[in-house]
Structure 1
Amino acid sequence: MGSALSIGAGFQDHEHYRSEARKNSALRQQYSQQSQTAYKSGNGAKAKELSLKAKEYGREMDRYNNMARDMVFKLNNTNRPSNELDLHGLKVREALDITRERLTKFVKNKEPNLMIIVGRGKNSINGVAKIKPAVTELVNEFHIKATPNKPNQGCIWVEPAGPEGVDLSWIDDLFQELAKKLWAFLGFGR
């Protein structure tokens, strides 16, 4: 279950895209600061011009990060079984977006299980995992059963929750609210 990122040219390309994203991020920040300075000095036209330039670099930053994300995801998941999702090498926001999409499919298709490979956090700053707690929190929003550290410390095992594991109280609240609105609409409200 090692990361495919450690192999070959794909890793280098991914790093190239991340590097380009960082360069564009720095330029975005630079133009944004210049825009604020121009605005404070009363030069609204220059401020707008610089702001538009900052936004352009922001779009480029996003484009390069998306290219890196797609490459990393493909490298890590192409040869995996359909019930595995490997998030190694992704930024937290990217991992959450991909996981949200995959969990939606998991629930919709009533799949029996899903192993989400989040890693142990070895490559994170100070070795503190960032993706694992974020994904664990996201999984809880789906009201499905998640077992961290199964089958190992870098994974989260997901299964449909049985009736005892699902909080359905929101359904009662929803129907009570709809009933109140219906009664008010029909003129029976207070």
Structure 2
Amino acid sequence: MGSALSIGAGSQDHEHYRSMARKNAELRREFSQQSQTAYLSGNGAKAKELSLKSKEYGREMDRYNNMARDLVFKLNNTNRPSNELDLHGLKVQEALDITRERLTKFVKNKEPNLLLIVGRGKNSVDGVAKIKPAVTELVNQFHIKATPNKPNQGCIWIEPAGPEGVDLSWIDDFFLGLAKKLWTYLFGGR
């Protein structure tokens, strides 16, 4: 496992992209407000023009955030084993999207284990983890065995659910109902 924040030298580029995304987000917000003001004053043409400009800045914001995401993910995961996924430095939604894709692959390929490195929240605002609880909730949707804080507090160890983790209680009811229908069909309910 790597350090708490593995992006190191690439963090300058990462921060540059995030900074550009924030600038474009602010411009998007400003043009959106101007568009609403123009619309309310009855100037539909100006409102549309400003709205299109707002959307353009929104696309640029997304582009810069995607560049930051891709850089951080590559730097954190390039030298990791294929059964490790380091989510440090990502926004919560980015981490969820990447984790969902990786868990789908984990289940589909019947992999033996997967280590999700989610961090403890040391670099989050007020030191409160945001990625870990969100990823934990996502993991629960996959019906797989997840052990938080293994091998340390900033990780989630994933394994297939196995027979003890799968609810098979429906099988008895299903076959009992099927047997009753078959009995009724064959013997007319006698």
Do Structure 1 and Structure 2 share a fold, with TM-score over 0.5? yes
Structure 1 residue ranges, 4+ long, deviating more than 3 angstroms after superposition = 167-171
Instruction: Give the aligned partner of residue 56 of structure 1.
Output: 56
Flag the 1:41–1:13 CA change in 2: closer, same or farther, 3 A.
same
Instruction: Give the aligned partner of residue 111 of structure 2.
Output: 111
Report matched runs for 1:13-24 at 5 Å: 13-24=13-24
CA-to-partner distance for each residue in 1:154-187, whole Å, 9 max, x for gaps? 000000001221246899xxxxxxxxxxxxxxxx
**Structure 1: segments with no counterpart, 5+ residues:** 172-190
TM-aligned CA deviation for residue 4 of structure 1: 1.9
Instruction: Give the aligned partner of residue 134 of structure 2.
Output: 134
Partner Cα separation in structure 1 for residue 109 and residue 141 of structure 2: 17
Query: What TM-score does the superposition give when structure 2 sets the normalisation length?
Result: 0.86
Partner Cα separation in structure 1 for residue 159 and residue 32 of structure 2: 46
Partner Cα separation in structure 2 for residue 20 and residue 124 of structure 1: 20
Flag the 1:79–1:49 CA change in 2: closer, same or farther, 3 A.
same
Flag the 1:34–1:162 CA change in 2: closer, same or farther, 3 A.
same
Instruction: Give the aligned partner of residue 26 of structure 2.
Output: 26
Flag the 1:15–1:102 CA change in 2: closer, same or farther, 3 A.
same
Which residue identity lines up with residue 37 of structure 2 in the other structure?
T
CA-to-partner distance for each residue in 1:55-113, whole Å, 9 max, x for gaps? 00000000000000000000000000000000000000000000000000000000000
Which residue identity lines up with residue 64 of structure 1 in the other structure?
Y
Which residue identity lines up with residue 54 of structure 1 in the other structure?
S
User: Does 2:2 align with 1:11?
Assistant: no
Report matched runs for 1:141-180 at 5 Å: 141-167=141-167
Instruction: Give the aligned partner of residue 66 of structure 2.
Output: 66
| Structure of higher CA gyration radius | 2
Give secondary structure in 2 for the equivalent of 1:4.
coil
Which residue identity lines up with residue 83 of structure 2 in the other structure?
N
Alignment coverage as a number of residue pairs: 170
Give secondary structure in 2 for the equivalent of 1:122.
coil
Partner Cα separation in structure 2 for residue 32 and residue 146 of structure 1: 43
Flag the 1:141–1:170 CA change in 2: closer, same or farther, 3 A.
farther
Which residue identity lines up with residue 73 of structure 2 in the other structure?
F
